[in-house]
């Protein structure tokens, strides 16, 4: 069982780190670059990104890390006296709530609203202006949550 928990924690570190890195890129330069384009071009590019991101590689890491976090959270609760269990539970909660939860509740609805507009319209430009600000703010939250979760899992292994 210890080997399974060790490997699962390593997978959680890697998954959280990969997801944090992808989101960090969006927070630090991708959204800025898209925002510097004329609105129809930025909208069209982001609409394309939101379709292409739904692929087995990204979803496997994004959702697979969530599944590993659920496993680790359950084992942390059941073996609450295990060293590092509190760190594991906190890391799992951060990823599940701060990364997966924020994505589903905050980022996906904004993606859906952006998908529903035509890039060439005034409505599209208005949605785009709000989207750039609101989506990026929530992206910062999920970036920090994934990065902190990776750090907590790493500390739990020491």
Using one digit for the tens of pLDDT, what is the confidence trace for 26-53?
A: 999 999 999 999 999 999 999 999 999 9
Average pLDDT of the residues in 131-149? 98
User: What pLDDT is recorded for position 53?
Assistant: 97
pLDDT at 80 > cutoff 80: no
**Domain segments of the chain: what residues?**
2-157
H/E/C letters for each residue in 31-86?
Answer: HHHHHCCCHHHHHHHHHHHHHHCCCHHHHHHHHHHHHHHHHHHHHHHHCCCCCCHH
Residue partners of 27: CB distance under 8 A and separation at least 6: 136, 139, 140, 143
pLDDT tier at 158, thresholds 50, 70, 90: confident
What pTM does this model have? 0.94
Report the C-alpha gap between 61 and 56 in whole angstroms: 8
- What's phi and psi for 154, nearest 5 deg? -65, -45
pLDDT at 1 > cutoff 80: no
Average pLDDT of the residues in 106-124? 97
Residue 121 has a CB neighbour count (10 Å cut-off) of: 13
Mean pLDDT across the chain, nearest whole number? Answer: 96
């Amino acid at each position: 069982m210890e080997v399974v928990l060790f490997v699962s924690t390593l997978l959680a570190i890697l998954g959280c780190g990969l997801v944090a890195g992808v989101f960090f890129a969006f927070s630090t330069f991708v959204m800025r670059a898209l925002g510097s384009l004329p609105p129809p071009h930025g909208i069209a590019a982001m609409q394309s990104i939101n379709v292409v991101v739904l692929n087995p590689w990204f979803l496997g890491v994004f959702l697979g890390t969530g599944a590993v976090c659920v496993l680790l959270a359950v084992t942390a609760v059941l073996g609450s006296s295990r060293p590092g269990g509190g760190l594991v539970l906190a890391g799992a909660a951060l990823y599940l709530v701060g990364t997966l939860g924020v994505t589903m509740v905050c980022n996906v609805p904004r993606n859906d609203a952006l998908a529903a507009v035509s890039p060439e319209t005034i409505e599209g430009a208005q949605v785009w202006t709000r989207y750039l600000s609101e989506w990026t703010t929530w992206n910062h939250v999920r970036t920090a949550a994934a990065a902190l979760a990776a750090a907590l899992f790493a500390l739990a292994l020491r």
